[in-house]
Amino acid sequence: MPATPYCAHPQSLEHLIDLLDRQCIAHTPVNATDNPHASNQEVAVLVLPDDTTASLYPQLLADFPNQGFWPTLAHPQDPQNPWYPWVDGDLVEPSTHLIFSNLRDFYRTAGVDYFTRPTATNPQLLADPESLTDDEWLEEEFWNGLEFPPPTPDVTAAFFDSLSPIPHHTAAAHPPTPEEPTALLITPTHRPADVPAAVGWLGACNYDFAGHHISAVLRSWEDRFGAILTSLDSQDMTLTIPPLALTDDERTLLTLEHYFFCRSLIDDATTFGHQSAALATSDAQQWVFHWE
């Protein structure tokens, strides 16, 4: 299995600041909380784009196994405020210590409405849809209108079995080089997946997901699909993906996983079928997520 980026012993934030100072690269500390009594507030640095940073991104990528400074492209939603949310106190305390490995519990909660929809709790309704109550009919119409597969016991069992850490990738992902100077969120970390937890990211808070929930999923995707976090802002996230050889059934299960992770992927304009088809390409690609 191709290795994803990993650093066994990340160096300190102080070492990162010294590295940037020696290269005369301006930087701003990222505080994971605006609580003045919290410990270890500074968790990363933000480097705004200029001519001196052009070589910094590939340098940090190449040195990551030794230094542990992961550079995440920080595309601001508002170009007039490139510091948001990193320097505006819109983060919470780091929660790396809360990252868990059992995704089954996470997805049972995140996908509870799908796994408990009427035809899931009573599979006989699939064969006799006329017995649905008005409320059950409306709920089933929602799922069917978005082309979701029926939640049969086989589908549910296959979904949770698919979370086992079995790799699906045979090549490594390569983060793209930005076409123009881009702000960098640089975080000392063991692996890219841990960045949301390390900085106290709140981009998915409207769905009750904290940084450690996001990082738990990203760890699993690193292990199973070679997915690497490459871009992060206040509500958006991009992962770089190596070529994947997925069967139709595997794409169906992965599409379910993406939806439970980020509900805005599938709506009236983008059905389950469309989202699943987008995963069919064998070329290297990106997974892009946006939380409302």
Q: How far lies 265's CA from each of 204, 221, 255, 256, 260, in Å? A: 13, 17, 9, 10, 9
Quote the pTM value.
Answer: 0.92
**CA atoms of 254 and 204, how far apart (whole Å):** 19
- Is the pLDDT assigned to residue 40 strictly greater than 80? no
Place of tokens 């100072």: 21
CA atoms within 13 A on the CB side of 96: 15
Q: Name residues whose C-beta falls within 8 Å of residue 22's C-beta, 6 or more positions apart in sequence.
A: none
pLDDT tens-digit series, residues 63-111: 999 999 999 999 887 888 888 898 876 888 888 888 888 899 999 999 9
pLDDT in tens, 162-172: 999 888 888 88
